[in-house]
Structure 1
Amino acid sequence: MLIYTILLLPLFVAVMNMDLQTHGHSAVLDAQGKYKISWTHKDNTITFLLQVQTLGYVGFGFSSNGAMASSDIIIGGVYRGKPYFQDYFTDSKRILHRDTYQSYKLEYAIENGTHTTLKFSRDLQTCDLYDKNITESTIRIIWAYHNDDIEGTGPKYHGSNRGQKSLRLLNPEKKKISVPIPYKDTTYWCQMFRMPTLDKKHHIIKVEPLIQKGHESLVHHILVYECERDTNDTVLEYGHECYHPNMPDSFFTCETVLYAWAIGGEGFTYPPNVGLSIGMPEDPTYVLMEIHYDNPTHQEGLIDNSGLTFHYTPHTRTYDAGVLEAGIWVSLYHMIPPGMPAFSSEGHCPVECLEEALNQEKPDGIHVFAVLLHAHQAGQVLRTRHFRKGVEQKLLAYDNEFDFNFQEFQYLDEERTILPGDSIITECQYNTKSRSSMTWGGLSARDEMCLSYLIYYPKINLARCESIPEINEQLQFIGVKEIYRPVTSWPLIIKSPKRYNNLTFTEAMNTFQWTKKKGNTFNERVRKMPINVRCSKHESREWSVSL
């Protein structure tokens, strides 16, 4: 089976194998993946590595217009254990001639049981009338191969084993961008990428993390989001700190999670009947990669180029995979008092949301096959609970000894079906015994999250199903009577009683004298409070849900 690879470092680049990856830049020239090249250049010299699925001759060259006429060509291979390699050109009638001045220098030619590999170099400008100068402009590569080697009469006609591809050899798409990590606790770094342009549907079948050696504790999690399609390519040139006032507006359109990896996790392989669809008009054209860097010791001078590898294939599976983010809406309204050995928070994906989405698309339900549970440093027990008509079913996923430094997808022993009328609760138990101030829902490792990422099939138009407790009742617990309205600042400001006047609600919560007993009472109240629900489609749209 043919499998391609996408690197997110943090740019997407198609690569072939470890030999080719060592040569700087690489590309696949044919649709079947049989002809692969990589190249690197230094000063006035460019070096090529060709790896072609043939035991016959390999042709490679440069053309002004992609046609055979008036082209600069090399032909090489291995015949009876000995390499052969010649510099040729074609005239205006496409007749092949051996070039008197051999500008290309063969480094080696080898065969194994299936492939021929050629490594050779040449000057960028050779001063040879029949050679094409290599500049920063687009150059048209022509290629061909045959199952037989060259004999005395010259190369046999290659038939359909030929083609052309336009590349920029001296200014190609970068494979990776190094990110300077600020010397502060938490950095979220975002960069947007264009997905590979494909002529038909493909499936991503495996995802692997590529964490820079020595940065295993620095890179806390990596998320890949789908973005709106009408994005301007100019934003692809650089990354930016996420959630910053100066972040490009187009970054805010990226809300649907395609993949999630967290610290300590390994790669993820989709089941043999499921893949993540790319290449179709409705599939993402642009994606955003978000990396959470955790730097509690404020180390200076850190440079990171961690990312992800996506393996994809044109041999599509039966079903498209989807990702559902369920749990607690990340917000300051998620509050955990200090000094609590066990405080439980719940994020609801209610009946109304699932029913609306499933009834319109998949009334027979969706099938969950893996779950990633996600929290931060205070998390100790995480569970994804499943209810049908109000009756609790077997847990979808759980971790009774959650480790902040080890978070990965749990493959379910058996697929679980989610039907219209079902609901999901993500429950997180936190330990804040060592903390003297409130813990808030937020982005840093000291803040908290409570999320489940459900991987399922077939895909439906539901990206997020989350809740957050209503803020006014939480504030009433500490005696807040009134806030200033209209709300013009964040966090919102308290008006009364006098002891909280002009304090933000976060300041007021920290002013309150918390005890373990008060914390337990608050916990019981919060779990019974009204909730606000986020029931999101893809591309930032919402389902119309009434609770």
Structure 2
Amino acid sequence: DDTVRIIFAHSEDDPNDENDLRWHGTEGRGVKFMYLLNAVTKPDLSGNIITRDMIQTNYHVPPQVTTYRCKAFTLSNLGKKHHMIKFESHIQRGMEPYVHHILVYKCPPLSKEWINKDYFCYLNGREVAPCGSVFFGWEYGGQDFYFPDNVGMPIGEPEDDATYIMEVHYNNPELRSDLVDSSGMRITFTPDLRKYDAGLLTTGVQIGPTHMIPPHETDFVNTGFCQAECLEQGLKDMPGQQVKVFAAWQHSHLLAYAMTTKHLRNGKEIEPFADDQAYDFNYQQIRLLRKEVPLKMGDSLITQCTYDSTSRTNLTLGGEATTDEMCISFIFYYPRMPLDGCLADPIFDTIPEIKDMKPPEQVKFLQGYNWKDRHARLLFRNNMEKTKYRSSCYARNPSFLNFKTVDRLRPTEIYHPPQRDCQKDNGQV
């Protein structure tokens, strides 16, 4: 199930035999990322379908490394409830290296003056900044996503006055001043409602400076989690007190080389929703599960990321820039429950010098560590193992946000995958 990098070469001329293999030339070669065991079958979407684009319009990207540009849209003019059944990116040709991700958030209504207006996402006040409720999106290397034929993401509901805020992250390390972009997303939807409403749950490590990766490490692990207590807020009123998970979308940045979204039932780890021990930033595709998996009362989630920071000389922090880090999983499921996300981040109460400091002060202190010293890095690892975490549990409708200081979530029993069915004979599989 890991990300596989396929290296290919081909020639326009067929060989006459095995001794007549010809050079493919400079154009007949390449690299393709894929999940070999997670093939996507494109369904027939003919019939009563509608498409709508959410696009930036000739946006002049500033000559700075990281830019977050937003644009607000409304779907209230649909007149009645529809189901979104597909979403896809629309990346302007030539902008592929510079568009890092596009996320669309479903947020409280904004005043009309903001609709169809683009602006800097985080420089115009909290009211118009993206909220925490990710609705859909695209990450670098991602492909079109089709919902299962019995599920659709609800839009245009009569009581729904939401504003959809599209956030485009531009990564411009060359500081180019000649980039003009019209990228965005296209959604496909239908008034012919499917059986179930889909939902999206965000879990993992809270994005921010308390997400720290020391330099000079080959296998540093960070974890975020979603406690059973939080999941119960959404599951308690669902039919059978459960939902069914059908896809998972894992996201980290340049230092991560492994990601796992673990699934715990009554504290015991069972088969993970996603496990990629060859995670690659260049291929961030949503994984459809081979079979739907129930998420039940008493279940909990752990998102684990493993980083190689040997290329860095100081702390790498969690943040929005590509050179910062993240560790987030988006869980697609049905039927929709009143819960949007649950995240966690360490508070460093095991380091006496910084336990009472605010995060910026903690960062400043730890940046003064001699990170070349292996013993200093080992001590930091040990403190991370023992620190408490701040967990957050939130939803947009009905609105609630709960914070709680908790111990790090650990499984009472580790999951071991079953032995593969491959039969070995004389060293060959």
After TM superposition, is the score higher than 0.5?
yes
Q: CA deviation at 1:274?
A: 0.3
Q: Quote the residue 1:234 is aligned against.
A: 113
SS in 2 for 1:206: strand
TM-score by length of 2: 0.79
**2:370 maps to 1:513:** yes
Contact 1:385 1:395 in 2 (8 A): yes
> Could you say which residue in structure 2 is the equivalent of 1:528?
386
Q: How does 1:376-391 map to 2 (within 5 A)?
A: 376-391=253-268
What secondary structure is seen at the aligned counterpart in 1 of 2:128? helix
Query: In the alignment, what sits opposite 1:428?
Result: 305
State whether residues 345 and 527 of structure 1, in contact with CA within 8 Å, keep that contact through their aligned partners in structure 2: no
TM-superposed deviation, 1:331: 1.2
In structure 1, what residue type is equivalent to 2:366? M
Decide whether aligned partners of structure 1 residues 255 and 506 sit closer, same or farther in structure 2, where only a CA change above 3 A counts.
same
The C-alpha deviation readout for 1:490-530, integer Å capped at 9, x for no partner, is 72xxxxxxxxxxxx332221111123443244224313321
Call closer, same or farther: CA 1:265–1:279 in 2, change over 3 Å: same
| Residue number in structure 1 paired with 2:55 | 9
* 1:317 positional shift: 0.3
Task: Name the residue aligned to 1:202.
Answer: 82
Of the three residues 128, 153, 164, the one matched with 1:287 is 164
CA shift, 1:266, in A, is: 0.6
Q: Give, in whole Å, the separation in 2 of the partners of 1:438 and 1:191.
A: 33
CA displacement at 1:284 relative to structure 2: 5.0
| Contact 1:253/1:540, CA 8 A, preserved across alignment | no
Cα distance in 2 for residues equivalent to 1:274 and 1:519: 47
Question: Residue 456 of structure 1 aligns to a residue in which SS?
Answer: strand
1:406–1:271 distance in 2 versus 1, CA, 3 Å: same
Residue 216 of structure 1 deviates from its aligned partner by: 1.1
C-alpha separation between the residues in 1 aligned to 2:100 and 2:402?
34
Cα distance between partner residues in 2 of 1:340 and 1:287: 40
Task: Output the amino acid matched with 1:178.
Answer: N
1:369 corresponds, among 238, 243, 246, to 246
Q: What one-letter code is carried by the residue in structure 1 that aligns with 2:89? A: P
Aligned pairs for 1:105-504 (under 5 A) are 177-229=57-109, 231-244=110-123, 247-252=124-129, 254-283=131-160, 285-473=162-350, 475-476=351-352, 479-480=353-354, 483=357, 491=360, 504=361
Comparing 341-350 with 253-262, greater Cα deviation is found at 253-262
CA contact (8 A) 2:59 2:181 kept: yes
Question: Which residue is equivalent to 1:73?
Answer: none
| Distance across 2 between alignment mates of 1:194 and 1:344 | 40
Identity of aligned residues (%): 35
Counterpart mapping for 1:77-88 below 5 A? none
1:241 shift after superposition? 1.4
Query: Using the alignment, how far apart are the partners of 2:159 and 2:394 within structure 1?
Result: 17
Query: TM-score, normalised on structure 1?
Result: 0.63
Q: How many residues align?
A: 358
Q: 1:281 to 1:536 in 2, by over 3 A?
A: same
Amino acid aligned to 1:346:
T
Tell me if structure 2 keeps the 8 A contact 1:260–1:453.
Answer: no
Q: Unmatched 5+ residue regions in structure 1?
A: 11-176, 492-503
Shift of 1:467: 0.4
Q: Looking at both structures, which has the greater relative contact order when contacts are Cα pairs under 8 Å and sequence separation is at least 6?
A: 2
The Cα of 1:413 is off from its aligned counterpart by 0.7
1:482 deviation in Å? 5.5
CA contact (8 A) 1:256 1:539 kept: no
Is contact 1:368-1:418 (8 Å) kept?
yes
Q: Once the 2 structures are TM-superposed, how far is the Cα of residue 189 of structure 1 from its aligned partner?
A: 0.8
Q: Which amino acid aligns with 2:229?
A: E
2:363 alignment partner AA: T
Q: CA deviation at 1:180?
A: 1.2
Distance in 2 between residues matched to 1:369 and 1:196, nearest whole Å: 28
Distance 1:481 1:455 in 2: 36
Change (3 A) 1:282 1:425: farther
What SS class does the counterpart of residue 367 from structure 2 fall into? helix
**Structure 2 vs 1, CA of residues 252 and 432 (structure 1 numbering), >3 Å: closer, same or farther?**
same
Report deviation, 1:298.
1.2
Amino acid at match of 2:365: A
Summarize the Cα distance change of 1:465–1:413 in structure 2 as closer, same or farther, 3 Å threshold: same
* 1:470 CA drift (Å): 1.3
The answer to whether the 8 Å contact 1:377/1:404 transfers is yes
Unaligned runs of at least 5 residues, structure 2? 1-46, 407-429
- Name the CA shift for 1:196/1:397 in 2 (closer, same or farther; >3 Å): same
| DSSP 3-state at the match of 1:353 | helix
In structure 1, what is the equivalent of residue 30 of structure 2?
none
C-alpha displacement of 1:237: 4.6
Change (3 A) 1:282 1:325: farther
